[in-house]
Structure formats: structure tokens, C-alpha cells
Amino acid sequence: MSWRKWLFLISTASLLAGCTANPATTIFHTNSMIAEQKLQLFNILFWMGVGVFLLVAVLLALAIIRGRRQPGDNSEPRQNHGNVRLEIIWTVIPILLVVYIFFITVRTMNAVAAPPREDGDLTVRVIGHRWFWEFQYPDLGITTANDLVIPEDTNIHLELVSVDVIHSFWVPNLSGKIDVVPGQQNSMWIRADNPGTFMGHCGEYCGMQHANMHFNVIARSADDFTAWVQGQQQPVAAAQGTLEEEGEQIVTAGVCAGCHTIQGTKMVGKTGPDLTHLYSRTIIAGGFPLDDATLEQWLRNSDELKPGNLMAGIRVSDQQIEAVMAYLKTLR
Ligand code: CUA
């Protein structure tokens, strides 16, 4: 292939990569006032830094060029001892810059400080696990994992804790980061201006599968959110169909119950994600799109997909896999 074709292919691919339905996961595509304010602060600091760098680089280049020793000239260069005007200039200008940075930083901190609670605000408890995120909605009686579903244009107050090591909650399109610490509750708030799906990351190295500790923040319109809440509040109905019933028996009476909860069954384990409405979610195991093939791979050998996870060593046998899959797919 000629280099022109390669160039065309590469540029088309990079253009298409920007064409997903969801915004790229970056602080430069904001969907909230908080992220917007922080981006503005970043831009000011960045361009100030660029300005100072260019100024210093130009003065340095000038000094190097103009201060060169001329051929045949062996005299000492002119010695300067103290220049009050220069010293005042290079002291006052940095002080003014630092004071300005202080001022705009405090202004941004005030602008994004948590708003007073209002009617309609939502509280979500965020629990970091190695390696997935659990989300509890205490006022709604809902627990999910991997997907944080929120209504748009609503203040979401987050209470964050970890059950094991320090994680960090970060949704670049919506907010800054906050550490999620065992034994200490931190808080922050987020708000999405428009519906959409925004990827979140764990921003603090937390062990082997730190990289597979994603989550999705899914902002929905008010009606969509209400419908989602009603769906999530339904306990699981008893399985219908032979295969599903067989799967239900394996899941609820077997080893799964030690770690997972399914509302409406006798499963109340707390170590792993709540599975009540598993198939209504977009992500499984903290970083993989939830689909049949991934779920099957996970059940057959989770260690292959995500080495080091706590379910490693627990396998669903070939005879059982069809039934377990059939049952789990009813959990919508
Ligand atoms: Cu959790 Cu990195």
C-alpha cells in the first residue's frame, strides 16, 4: 500500500474514533458546570505557563546570542552588581501572577463547592471494591454495580467509602477526582447538564486490576430515570421455564450466594456486586461491556478475563453454564 493510502486510512480511523455516540472521556469535553469551571481554570494556568516559558526561553536565547565572546576578545565581560529596578521587576511580576492564581483558584473552588441540598437532590453511596464500584441509593432502596444511573440536571451528593484499599473516583467529563478511603467517608457532588453516558475511572493505583475498575455514569431525562427506578425497585420474580429454574437453583443454592445478593431470593452476600438487575447494566466486572459472550467467558474462567479477581477459581461447569446463563439473563 502506498504511503498516501496509509495516511488516508490513519486519518479516517482517527476521525471515526471521535464519532462515538458518547463524548470522549476527557476533561476537555465537559458536560457539567463543575467540569467547565475546572477546565477554565486549567486553560488559564496552562496558557500562563506557556507565556512564562516563552518569555524565559526568548530572554535566554537573546542572552546566549548577544553575550557570546567575540573572536580575539579576551577581556572580562561587564560585571553587574545589583540592579534594583530589575530585581523589583522580577520579584513583583511573579508575586502578581501567584496572587492572581490564588484568586482564580479560590473563585473556582467557591463556584464548584457543594450547593445547599434542595428538594429532588439525590444521595448515592459510592463503595470502592477491588475491583468494581458499588452504588447504593439509600432513599430509593436500590443497589447497583458498575453503572451509576442519575437524572440529568439534578444535584447528586456522593458519599464515598472503600471496603479495602484507597481508590479514587473520577468522571472526567463531569467532575474532578476524590480519594475513596477505607474507614473514612469523603463526599463530593456531581451534576450532568445533559443525558449521556460518561465513563468513570479509578484514579488511584489499587492493585492488579486497577485498570479494570471502570464504571459508567448514565445520565437520563427525568422520565427515563423514574422508569429506571421503578424497574430497579422490583424484586426478582421466581424463574420461569425449566432451564431458567435449573439455573436459579444452581445460582441461589450454590457458591454464588456466599458473595452476591439477588433481592427477592435468599442470596445476601456482600463481597461481590449485587446481581439483582444484572442484565440492565452496561458493564460487567468493572470494565467489560456486558454481553452474552463476556458473561459466559466470565463464568467459565473469570481469571482469564480479569486475573486476580476474587471469583477466580470458581467455575461454572460446561453442564451448568447454559442454565446459569439463562437464569442470569432474566435478571433485567
Ligand atoms: Cu481502584 Cu485503582
User: What is the pLDDT, as a whole number, of residue 287?
Assistant: 84
Question: β-strand 122-129 against 156-162: which pairing, if any?
Answer: parallel
Distance CA 144, CA 78 (A): 73
Is there an atom of ligand 1 within 6 Å of 202 CB? Answer: yes
Distance CA 158, CA 215 (A): 15
Q: How far is the CA of 98 from the centre of ligand 1 (A)?
A: 34
Q: How far is the CA of 156 from the centre of ligand 1 (A)?
A: 22
Q: How far is the CA of 179 from the centre of ligand 1 (A)?
A: 10
Is there an atom of ligand 1 within 6 Å of 306 CB? Answer: no
Q: In this structure, are residues 312 and 319 in contact, taking their beta carbons and an 8 Å threshold?
A: no
Q: Which three cell numbers stand for residue 270?
A: 456482600
Atom 1 in ligand 1: residue holding the nearest Cα: 167
User: What is the pLDDT, as a whole number, of residue 20?
Assistant: 44
Confidence of residue 73 (pLDDT cuts 50, 70, 90): confident
User: What is the pLDDT, as a whole number, of residue 205?
Assistant: 96
Percent of the chain with pLDDT over 70: 93
Q: In this structure, are residues 188 and 115 in contact, taking their beta carbons and an 8 Å threshold?
A: no
Q: How far is the CA of 180 from the centre of ligand 1 (A)?
A: 9
Work out which ligand 1 atom sits closest to the CA atom of 131.
1
Confidence of residue 300 (pLDDT cuts 50, 70, 90): confident
User: What is the pLDDT, as a whole number, of residue 210?
Assistant: 95
pLDDT single digits (tens) 308-319? 888 877 778 888
Q: In this structure, are residues 169 and 161 in contact, taking their beta carbons and an 8 Å threshold?
A: no
Is there an atom of ligand 1 within 6 Å of 201 CB? Answer: no
Is there an atom of ligand 1 within 6 Å of 171 CB? Answer: no
pLDDT single digits (tens) 172-215? 999 989 999 999 999 999 999 999 999 999 999 999 999 999 99
Q: How far is the CA of 210 from the centre of ligand 1 (A)?
A: 4
Is there an atom of ligand 1 within 6 Å of 210 CB? Answer: yes
Q: Which of 58, 27, 26, 49 is nearest to 40 (CA)?
A: 27
User: What is the pLDDT, as a whole number, of residue 14?
Assistant: 52
Q: In this structure, are residues 199 and 125 in contact, taking their beta carbons and an 8 Å threshold?
A: no
Confidence of residue 18 (pLDDT cuts 50, 70, 90): very low
Q: Does the bond joining 131 to the residue before it have cis omega, within 30 degrees of 0?
A: yes
Distance CA 158, CA 190 (A): 8
User: What is the pLDDT, as a whole number, of residue 1?
Assistant: 55
User: What is the pLDDT, as a whole number, of residue 316?
Assistant: 81
pLDDT single digits (tens) 98-154? 999 999 999 999 999 988 888 889 999 999 999 999 999 999 999 999 999 999 999
What amino acid occupies position 4?
R
Q: How far is the CA of 33 from the centre of ligand 1 (A)?
A: 26
DSSP, res 122: E
Strand extents, DSSP E, the chain: 122-129, 132-137, 142-145, 147-151, 156-162, 167-170, 177-180, 186-190, 196-202, 215-220, 283-284, 288-289
Is there an atom of ligand 1 within 6 Å of 142 CB? Answer: no
Q: How far is the CA of 70 from the centre of ligand 1 (A)?
A: 60
pTM for this predicted structure: 0.84
Q: Which whole number is the average pLDDT over 245-260?
A: 88
Q: Judge whether residue 19 has pLDDT over 50.
A: no
Q: Which whole number is the average pLDDT over 228-256?
A: 88
Q: Judge whether residue 276 has pLDDT over 80.
A: yes
Q: Judge whether residue 234 has pLDDT over 70.
A: yes
Q: How far apart are the first and last CA of the chain?
A: 48
Q: Average per-residue pLDDT in the chain?
A: 89
Q: How far is the CA of 81 from the centre of ligand 1 (A)?
A: 55
Which runs of consecutive H residues, i.e. helices, occur in 187-261? 222-233, 242-253
Is there an atom of ligand 1 within 6 Å of 160 CB? Answer: no
Q: Which three cell numbers stand for residue 17?
A: 474514533
Q: Judge whether residue 241 has pLDDT over 60.
A: yes
Is there an atom of ligand 1 within 6 Å of 277 CB? Answer: no
